[in-house]
Structure 1
């Protein structure tokens, strides 16, 4: 049975605190399910930004997109996330991954060892375990069973971990990947997860909505190919039709997009959220 559609905004920058809290309120007003904060040294510290967003909203869930496991001590991180669950009234979601391409340099700047690929995957597993243990042992968390866990990945190691542990899997594929190219990681996850696959929510992040390219792509770079799954074009009903087909064929039901495109995707959110 297909899962209901959810939509999330990915944002991590604002000119001032008032603009940041306005972003959170706007996301809630537009019907988005989540506000997701990236984990980089060039964006707002995710746990602080999420706490601020939670204090000015009532239904919007807050999450990470995604925590880089090598950046932090897992028990301390789990303790802080448990506190954020309390402060948000149980609206916390936790996304975690092994680190973006630039994560090694940032880990070094934070004074943390980056480790091998295998060590980083083991850290992701450790973070998940520590979070679940912290929530189970806390008397203040709202989500006593623990927050929903998103694992981002597309390679065999991360998909294998996600098949065992994740509530949501974000397909961390290159932006130019076509719909056909999504079938590989989805099929691999299905095989690894077995009977658990039907319980896993599948997610992908959109690079572009409509004809306007994202402003952060420098001029001169090759535009995404017309068949890139991360680019959604057409009228709201046409875009909704594309997402409905992808849900039917691939199981993708949780769609995230950069905050720059929040208004462009809002009519689709209105058509599909909760369906």
Structure 2
């Protein structure tokens, strides 16, 4: 990786988005299996009415294993900054520092679909800023809850550079690898920050709550999209190392349906 892209080569870590798509005993067994496979973080999506409330679900997951837990990601369009920050701080306290607060603007139109007033993009960004500021006040000098911010345009990137500990770029399904690489390198030229890669597709499978289920996976493979990893563990490990070397990604987040498939990759690369 070129010198501008990063001052530090960060060790690999791997997170899993594990929504409840089955009965609770099956989900609990899945969480435990994810922990036993070497993943670092158990993540939950913020999708009201489709999943149980995020805070209690994460607290339940934290009680099952010693994994880190996190929101992937709080949707600012749906959330009051003060109460979100308090929930995040509370999860950090109750897990003794094992909580990562992921936050983003939220999918366009999600608030209207749920019967809530429309929230402009500018207001969403302001809520993100206010949430992080409130979290820092609640944490005080003795606790630092890591913030992972989902970013897309230049204004959200600027906010992340100011307040986040890690970022994940919201990439369109037809993202151009060269353009994305240049965008990330420009971003990293301002500050050394952890880069998280949201991987919605493994092989031809699409992870629930990480991308639309009708995604054209053949087109993604043809475009060499960064939202895809191969299902073959050896090929996936090679591609992951390539992305860290060429772009800077070190934290890879996949769907729970693929946790067993990529477990050999985690065994090989985690912490390296």
Query: Scaled by the length of structure 2, what TM-score is found?
Result: 0.87
User: C-alpha offsets along residues 143-194 of structure 1, whole Å, 9 cap, x if unaligned?
Assistant: x332110000121111110111111101111133243232143033224xx2
- Contact kept, 8 Å, 1:179 with 1:229, in 2: the verdict is yes
Shift of 1:84: 1.5
- Contact kept, 8 Å, 1:114 with 1:120, in 2: the verdict is no
- Contact kept, 8 Å, 2:201 with 2:207, in 1: the verdict is no
Provide the residue aligned with 2:124 in structure 1: 120
Provide the residue aligned with 1:129 in structure 2: 133
- Contact kept, 8 Å, 1:153 with 1:173, in 2: the verdict is no
Closer/same/farther in 2, CA of residues 181 and 258 from structure 1, 3 Å limit: farther
Which one of 18, 23, 46 corresponds to residue 16 of structure 1? 23
Closer/same/farther in 2, CA of residues 242 and 53 from structure 1, 3 Å limit: same
The whole-number CA distance in structure 2 between the counterparts of 1:220 and 1:171 is 18
- Per mean C-alpha deviation after superposition, the further-off stretch among 232-241 and 213-222 is 213-222
User: C-alpha offsets along residues 205-255 of structure 1, whole Å, 9 cap, x if unaligned?
Assistant: 112223x42276656946323311222126423321211121111110000
- Per mean C-alpha deviation after superposition, the further-off stretch among 72-81 and 119-128 is 72-81
Shift of 1:264: 1.2
Closer/same/farther in 2, CA of residues 89 and 31 from structure 1, 3 Å limit: same
The whole-number CA distance in structure 1 between the counterparts of 2:214 and 2:70 is 31
Report SS of the residue matched to 1:96: strand
Closer/same/farther in 2, CA of residues 66 and 173 from structure 1, 3 Å limit: same
Q: Are residues 1:237 and 2:231 paired?
A: no
> How many positions carry a matched residue from both structures?
259
Provide the residue aligned with 1:214 in structure 2: 206
Closer/same/farther in 2, CA of residues 248 and 219 from structure 1, 3 Å limit: closer
- Contact kept, 8 Å, 2:16 with 2:259, in 1: the verdict is yes
- In the alignment, structure 2 segments of 5+ residues that lack a partner are 1-7
The whole-number CA distance in structure 2 between the counterparts of 1:21 and 1:254 is 24
Closer/same/farther in 2, CA of residues 220 and 136 from structure 1, 3 Å limit: closer
- Contact kept, 8 Å, 1:171 with 1:185, in 2: the verdict is no
The whole-number CA distance in structure 1 between the counterparts of 2:207 and 2:194 is 30
The whole-number CA distance in structure 2 between the counterparts of 1:36 and 1:76 is 20
Closer/same/farther in 2, CA of residues 95 and 118 from structure 1, 3 Å limit: same
The whole-number CA distance in structure 2 between the counterparts of 1:271 and 1:257 is 16
Q: Are residues 1:31 and 2:27 paired?
A: no
Aligned pairs for 1:95-106 within 5 A: 95-106=102-113
- Contact kept, 8 Å, 2:73 with 2:103, in 1: the verdict is yes
Closer/same/farther in 2, CA of residues 218 and 15 from structure 1, 3 Å limit: closer
Provide the residue aligned with 2:101 in structure 1: 94
The whole-number CA distance in structure 1 between the counterparts of 2:268 and 2:240 is 11
The whole-number CA distance in structure 1 between the counterparts of 2:175 and 2:53 is 29
- Contact kept, 8 Å, 1:172 with 1:204, in 2: the verdict is no
The whole-number CA distance in structure 2 between the counterparts of 1:115 and 1:234 is 38
Provide the residue aligned with 1:6 in structure 2: 13
The whole-number CA distance in structure 2 between the counterparts of 1:116 and 1:215 is 28
Provide the residue aligned with 1:252 in structure 2: 249
